[in-house]
Chains A and B, each alone.
Chain A
Amino acid sequence: MNQDQDDRFADQARELQIDALLHEAAGVLPSPTLADRIAGAVRQHDAPPRSRSRLMFAAVAVLGLGVVGAVAWLRNGERPAVIPVQEPQPVPAPPPAPAPQDPKPAPAPAPKLDKWTTWIADYSDNCVLEVDEKGKIVRQIDEVFGAWDVDLLDNGNVLITEFSVSRVREIDPKGKVVWSYDWSNESDLKNPYDADRLPDGNTLIADTFGGRVIEVTPKGEIVWRYDRDIRPFDVERLANGNTLIADVLKDRVIEISPRNEIVWEVGDLPNVHDADRLPNGNTLVTLRNKGEVREIDPTGKVVWHMRGLSSPSDADRLPNGNTLVAENTRVREFDKHGAEVWHTETTWAVEANRYYKR
């Protein structure tokens, strides 16, 4: 190595050093729960004999965190560019046809579209929040370690996915944990990003760094899994019984039949963090690094997209046709033309779900 190269690397090293220290002076510090996480990880690894590949799971997990881009808060959020190649279809009021195995639900009263709350998973603050229409926090659950998903269930409980401690918990309105899938019941989860409660009471989990999607019963028995070369960031069970998976490993969204066959696939979706099947049959996908949300029709054609977002990790199409996006330091609702119609500030929102009062 010549002297010029030596000097160049030495200079870069000094820049890295001053940058790290400046951030630290600004309060960028290790996660306050890191020591506890390490203790938990040591306990996990001490329990049964572990293979080296399992030992390395956290390093693999960092791939995902790198993707997350922890300096995303340095990015400025400007009004996103919306290029509707084709106007998105208004969301029809009727729900999708139930899956064959779904119980027939009693007709529910129509939701009041002006009365709602939004549940937000705030990764950095280790909490989940419920905020009202004015952005006021009406409920907060702390000591959630690496919150990556939060869903309000029909019974009023919330289902929380905790990335950092590899756990999915159901918590009732009084704060009591009524169900948990974690190391205590030998779940073997590895940094999950997403979990959904299914109509039959089972729970569908994107076990992100376990490289699988699993469906578990309330007793913790795995009754279905898909683990063929995937890193699932988001998963949902469709009305037809298939399962939609956002697979970051291969930059794609796939629809899997109950027999584990890929029945639909769209690729070239770099860093896809979220995928939702819309009632019109299209699929809404969130591309974090591109700062983009796309609506894709069944042929793979992009029929609508919104660009210029700040590290979005979740986007939902709302019943009023607007789109709710979790963008790290805020959650914003946009109309179909990209105009912001609502927002609330957060520390690091990675998931936001809107619930309407009936």
Chain B
Amino acid sequence: MPDPAVEPAEPPTAEPADTAPPRDRAPGQPEQVVREHLHAVWRYLRMHGASPHEADDLAQEAFVIALQKDAAHLAPAATATFLRRTARFLFLRLRRAGPDAVQLADAVDELWDRDCGADGGDARLDALRTCLGELTDRARSAVELSYGLRTLDPQSRARIAAELGLQENGVKTLMQRVRQQLRACVERRMP
């Protein structure tokens, strides 16, 4: 892991002198770059803990920087790396991150590289959807209510408790257990 105390004072440059990737994309295709990378950058920010609207705005800013710094002309993998590095910088700056947050960001990056590096996390999301179907009815109900999976209307813990006939603390415990189950299930299903 990099030194957690060292965060870039400015967004990374498009072509660090020692790692300049090959230019294999015709210049002037910003729409294509946005189309190819937007969802992955947004998801990456969400996995760092950005709210949906924070992720919208930080992704926007990351693309503006990337396109201004000519990163759109890099090979797709290098463009993706540049966008993530920029997004990470913007997110940590937004949160005025201290050392702990930087270490957490490192852990998120490590996980991203391992789990989502190949496809931006699409396979993992598919695995999660499958795993949701394997939960017990009660556990699935708790997740559906908590995240608004069926209704797009996430419910409070109090309402879930009322719905499932539990105490609020019971809902908390149930959700912790279900999330652990889902994590384990997704790990099993990933290659």
A→B interface (CB under 8 Å): 1, 5-6, 9-10, 12-31, 34-35, 37-39, 41-42, 45-46, 52, 55-56, 58-59, 61-63, 65-66, 68-71, 73-76
Closest A-B pairs by Cβ, 3 of them? A76-B156, A70-B51, A20-B46
Residues on B with beta carbons closer than 8 Å to the beta carbon of A26? 147-149, 152, 154
The interface bits of chain B over 44-57 (1 if a CB of A lies within 8 angstroms of the residue's CB, else 0) are: 00111101111111
How far apart sit A29 and B39, CA to CA, in the bound complex (Å)? 8
| Cα of A30 to Cα of B38 in the assembled complex, Å | 9
- Whether the Cβ atoms of A23 and B56 lie closer than 8 Å is no
**Contact bitstring B80-117, A, C-beta under 8 A = 1, else 0:** 00000000001001100000000110111011000100
> Most chain-B CB neighbours within 10 Å: which of A6, A28, A69?
A28
Contact at B52–A9, with CB atoms within 8 Å? no
Cβ–Cβ < 8 Å partners of A45 in chain B: 64, 68
A-B contact count (CB 8 A): 162
B61 touches A58 (CB 8 A): yes
B182 part of interface (Cβ distance < 8 Å): yes
Whether the pair B67, A9 counts as a contact (CB closer than 8 A) is: no
- List 23 A–B pairs whose Cβ atoms lie within 8 Å, in order of A's numbering: A5-B103, A6-B107, A13-B108, A13-B110, A16-B47, A16-B48, A16-B49, A17-B47, A17-B111, A18-B182, A18-B186, A20-B47, A21-B128, A22-B128, A24-B46, A30-B39, A30-B56, A42-B30, A45-B68, A58-B57, A70-B52, A70-B53, A76-B159
Is B94 touching A69 in the complex (CB atoms < 8 A)? no
Distance, CA A45 to CA B67, complexed state (A): 10
What residues on A are CB-neighbors of B94 within 8 Å?
Answer: 59, 62-63, 66
A58 to B58, CA, bound (A): 7
Q: Which residue of A lies closest to B4 (CB)?
A: A1
B156→A65 contact, CB < 8 A = no
A13 to B108, CA, bound (A): 5
State the Cβ distance, A12 to closest chain B Cβ, in Å: 6
B48: chain A residues at CB < 8 Å are: 16
Contacting residue for A70 out of B39, B54, B124, CB 8 A: B54
Taking CB atoms, residues of chain A closer than 8 Å to B110 are 10, 13
- Chain B CB within 10 Å — which of A15, A27, A30 has the most? A30
Say if the beta carbon of B189 comes within 8 Å of chain A: no
Enumerate chain B interface residues (CB-CB to A < 8 A): 1, 4, 10, 30-31, 34-35, 38-39, 42-43, 46-49, 51-61, 63-65, 67-68, 90, 93-94, 103-104, 106-108, 110-111, 115, 121, 124-125, 128-129, 132, 143, 147-149, 152-156, 158-159, 179, 182-183, 186
Closest B residue to A34 by beta carbon equals B56
Measured CB to CB, the closest approach of chain A to B87, in angstroms, equals: 10
Q: If the complex has contacts A22-B143, A71-B51, are A59 and B61 also in contact, measured as CB distance less than 8 A?
A: yes
8 further contact pairs, Cβ within 8 A, besides A21-B125, A41-B63, A61-B57? A15-B179, A16-B108, A17-B108, A25-B125, A27-B152, A38-B34, A63-B94, A76-B156
Chain A residue with the shortest CB-CB distance to B127? A21
Q: Give the residue of B60, B93, B155, B158 whose beta carbon is less than 8 angstroms from that of A38.
A: B60
| Alpha-carbon distance A68/B53, docked complex (angstroms) | 9
Q: Are B104 and A13 in contact (CB under 8 A)?
A: yes
Q: Is the CB of A65 within 8 A of B54?
A: yes
The SS class assigned to the A binding surface is: helix
Q: In whole Å, how far is B28's beta carbon from the nearest beta carbon of chain A?
A: 11
| List of A residues within 8 angstroms of B64 by Cβ | 38, 41-42, 45, 55, 58
Closest to A40 in B: B60
Instruction: Give chain A nearest CB distance to B118 CB in angstroms.
Output: 15
| Chain B residues positioned under 8 Å from A55 (CB to CB) | 64-65, 68
> In the complex, what's the smallest C-beta–C-beta distance from B52 to chain A, in angstroms?
5
- Assuming the A-B contacts A13-B110, A16-B47, A26-B154, are A66 and B54 also in contact, with contact meaning beta carbons closer than 8 angstroms in the complex? yes
- B42 partner, pick from A21, A27, A34, beta carbons under 8 A: A34
Q: Are A23 and B147 in contact (CB under 8 A)?
A: yes
Q: A22-B143, A66-B94 are in contact. Are A56 and B108 (CB under 8 A)?
A: no
A13 to B109, CA, bound (A): 9
Shortest beta-carbon distance from A64 to chain B in Å? 9
Q: In the bound complex, what is the Cα–Cα distance between A191 and B128 (angstroms)?
A: 36
What are the residues of chain A within 8 A of B55 when measuring CB–CB? 30
Measured CB to CB, the closest approach of chain A to B3, in angstroms, equals: 11
Q: Which residues of A contact B10 (CB under 8 A)?
A: 52
Smallest beta-carbon distance A352→chain B, Å: 20
**Complex: chain A residue closest to B112, CB-CB:** A17
Q: How far is the CA of A20 from the CA of B93 in the complex (A)?
A: 21
Q: How far is the CB of B90 from chain A (nearest CB, A)?
A: 5
When distances are taken between beta carbons in the complex, the residues of chain B under 8 Å from A71 are 51
Task: List the A side residues contacting B93 at CB < 8 Å.
Answer: 59
Q: Shortest CB–CB separation between residue B130 and chain A, in angstroms?
A: 11
Give A8 Cβ to nearest chain B Cβ, in Å. 9
Q: What separation, in Å, do the CA atoms of A68 and B188 have in the docked complex?
A: 37
CB of A13 within 8 A of CB of B107, answer yes
